Structure 1
Amino acid sequence: MKAIRADFKALFEQYEAEFLVDLKAVLRVPSVRGVKTYQAPFGIGPKRALETVLSIATRMGFRTGQVGDCVGWAEYGPDESQAPTYFGILGHLDVVDVEDDWHYLPFDLTQVDNFLYGRGVLDNKGPLLSTLFALYLIKTQKIIFKHRVRIIFGTDEESGSQDIPLYLQQEAAPYAGFTPDCKFPAVYGERGLLDVQLSLPITDGSEPQITAIDGQFAKSYLPDHARLLLADGTVKIYQGKKAPSNAPEMADNVLPKLVADASQLTGETGQFYQWLNAKIGNQSTGENLGINFEDAASGALQLAF
């Protein structure tokens, strides 16, 4: 990666305090998807985050707009009459909900040893606001663009991106663009996502062997604890290490442990868990299912359950 230009580094340092104030304001909005309500199709939190960022962009002097109460944009460069198409920078302001495993306040900005902590610092409020701020610094230098540059603020990425079709109903798609997301600030492509639910009818009456399976489960991460309750009174508790679902190699996933124990049950219930244990188990690349594909650009397939 090339070194940051000295003049832009010095320019950012002049505005660094302002950036951190704005980032803190955005992080303090708990923009977890909620119940649809008036003018907030994905809940109050995502809508508040969108309004907060658009207020910042307006203060910076950008042209701004909002579509469907769920997608906003800020742009710089010639207006639409001079440049009908635009270069897009797409990110999102919604975040995954938090649990009680944070060392710092999740919906705030904390600085420790030159690191920033808070829900959304990496995914995706921090990178998205950094992009807005970079465009603002370019604007302060009165640098002229030949093409429109539009930063698009989504609010439903963590729950399936139902906001983007609403945006595209009213706005043209960009002719090109990138996503400032997570660890490296420019993402040019991502692997596709396939969400599969397996169901098996139990016809032999063996299902009551399991009284309950509980824990904190979500699609966005691999869980670090779970509990299996059996009809004979046996209680099995599993502890592991949580990790994002797109980094299964970092987890000590408790579900394979639960599945291994459940595979000892009898009848069709036991057979179902035996299949899960044999075909998936601790694998995260799908060898036993015959789906362990990979390529140079996106790496190996990732499998999580």
Structure 2
Amino acid sequence: MSIDWEKEVSLRSDELINDVSELVSINSQRDVEHKTSDYPLGPGPAKALKTFLGMAERDGFTTKNIENVAGRIEFGEGSEVIGILSHVDVVPEGPGWDTNPFKPTIKDGKLYARGASDDKGPGLAAYYGLKIIKELKLPVSKKIHFIIGTDEESDWVGINRYMELEEMPEVGFSPDAEFPAINGEKGIVSFEINFAGSDKGTVKSFDSGLRPNMVPQSATADIDLNKVQNDELSSKFEEFLNSNPSLKGTIESEGDVAHIELIGKASHAMAPFNGINAATYLAVFLNSLELADEEKVYFNFIEKQLHMDFAGKGIGIEASDEVMGELTVSASILKFDAKEGSIVINIRYPKGDDDKTLSSKIAATLPESGSVKLYGYNEMPHFVDANDPLVQNLVQAYREHTGDVENNPYTIGGGTYGRILKKGIAFGAMFPGDENVMHQANEYIEIDKLLKAAAIYADAIYRLIK
């Protein structure tokens, strides 16, 4: 049976765009400050989950809501189950947007909104692939469990709760990365490095970063003007900005405090070199001032051992693997005040290390006053052979819709739900050469590529379950 998948998507294109627009309108970032017994991760993630499940119920699917932190859409017959894993939570919007991040805007063929590319747009594209198979009443021999999480950008609370209560498939994919296929994901771990603070120095406070998996776009510092002349500070800061034209900044004085804000460029922590880390740049500037001893230790460490060092050489963890590539590190959340100084670093590492070996290596590079401890999320590297039938089926579907025979499956530093499955990979929806706007201001998805991805997903899913 020959099926024109792209035609089937085009017949539903308006509906798909409307559903994506509705879903991205929901601010579904983790909000435990407003959690309740009914909404353990806050109201936003639960609302997005219910909205997605509601779309599936509208289309005649059987659904299940697991405690408002995860959900499932069911389809098909047979004893074997294929998993499709997506998420409806988003990272904080951050500064720098030209539009309202939760009011979808279509401009020049692109739909702008937080979550458009990570992961609401791709998730719904995969869902529409499944919807087309259902509506065409195609014969299938396996089941699909389309599983939706609500905390992928943080601690995976939703998907972990799902695994406690429900059986997880062993085989499947996550539409949360890139084509032609991501068959390997580096290990991911975050550490917090702690230092002594100071209430007698020049820097009254220093603050930057939102999440471990985001390169910080902005950084702020309050400077004690009793320790440095305002004119001298302003002159130095202007000179610093002139020397670093990729940065923007302001300095404002009130009483005996000067408030500095520096703006760089956010990016996903899996590719820190795509961002401009406002925190480490501001630390470099602050390190040029007359500082107290504790301040010198903290800001000197950032400048000498973290700034522009995406490979971790300065903290003794540089590593690479022939298949999985090089280790990367992002200084993601940084704070300094009277009580303490802290730096949360996010590391994406190939096979050969684990949290214990990395911690030991980092500790060996710290000054005497420094210490390191595990900070939340910790996942080992994951890999599926490129010759596996799962990978081959998905890649073939991609090739037939794009004509691309040059690009091959590869490893990324990102962490997707694909790594949960014994034999799971990430599959789309970014195409080779696309700008990666995940976790950045003005996140978008190109509408024609959203539709193309839906056709690829429909074809690929049917190959897995027919």
If the length of structure 1 is used for normalisation, what is the TM-score?
0.88
* 1:49 Cα deviation from its structure 2 partner: 0.6
Alpha-carbon shift at residue 166 of structure 1 (Å): 0.9
1:128 aligns to what? 123
Which residue, out of 213, 216, 234, partners 1:223?
216
Give the aligned length. 295
Cα separation, partners in 2 of 1:88 and 1:297, compared to 1, 3 Å: farther
The question of 1:290 aligning with 2:345 is answered no
Does the CA contact (< 8 Å) of 1:88 and 1:150 recur in 2? yes
Q: State the distance in 1 between where 2:56 and 2:13 align.
A: 16
Deviations for 1:24-54, whole angstroms, at most 9, x for unmatched residues? Answer: 1111111111221131111111111111111
- Cα distance in 2 for partners of 1:253, 1:36 equals 31
Aligned position for 1:33: 30
Q: 1:252 aligns with which of 259, 265, 276?
A: 276
Q: Is the 8 A contact 2:310 2:330 kept in 1?
A: yes
Describe the SS at the equivalent of 1:165: helix
2:90 aligned partner: 95
Q: Report deviation, 1:286.
A: 1.0
Query: Which of 295, 298, 303 matches 1:277?
Result: 303
Q: Name stretches of at least 5 consecutive residues in structure 2 with no aligned partner.
A: 234-257, 332-466
Q: Sequence identity of aligned pairs in percent?
A: 29
Aligned match of 1:63: 62
Cross-structure match for 1:54: 53
Give the counterpart of 2:7 among 10, 14, 28.
10
Q: Judging by fraction of residues, say which structure has more strand.
A: 2
- Following TM superposition, by how much is the alpha carbon of 1:105 offset from its aligned partner in structure 2, in angstroms? 2.7
Aligned residue for 1:210? 203
Contact 2:209–2:279, Cα closer than 8 Å, also in 1: no
- Tell me whether 1:139 sits opposite 2:134 in the alignment: yes
In structure 1, runs of 5+ residues without a counterpart are: none
Q: Give, in whole Å, the separation in 2 of the partners of 1:183 and 1:97.
A: 22
Q: 8 Å contact 1:206–1:268 — kept in the other structure?
A: no
Distance 1:15-1:119 versus aligned 2 partners, 3 A rule: same
CA distance in 2, matches of 1:115, 1:237: 31
- Mapped to 1, the partners of 2:141 and 2:200 lie a distance apart of 66
Aligned residue identity for 1:7 = D
Q: CA deviation at 1:215?
A: 4.8
The CA RMSD measured in Å over matched residues stands at 2.3
Higher relative CO (CA 8 A, sep ≥ 6), structure 1 or 2? 2
Q: Tell me the equivalent position of 1:243.
A: 267
Q: Normalization by structure 2: what TM-score?
A: 0.59
| Contact 1:63-1:75 at 8 Å conserved across structures | yes
Helix, strand or coil at the partner of 2:262: strand
Matched letter for residue 36 of structure 1: K
Compared CA separation, residues 101 and 300, structure 1 to 2 (3 A): same
Structure 1 residues 183 and 62: alpha-carbon distance in aligned structure 2, compared to 1, 3 A threshold = same
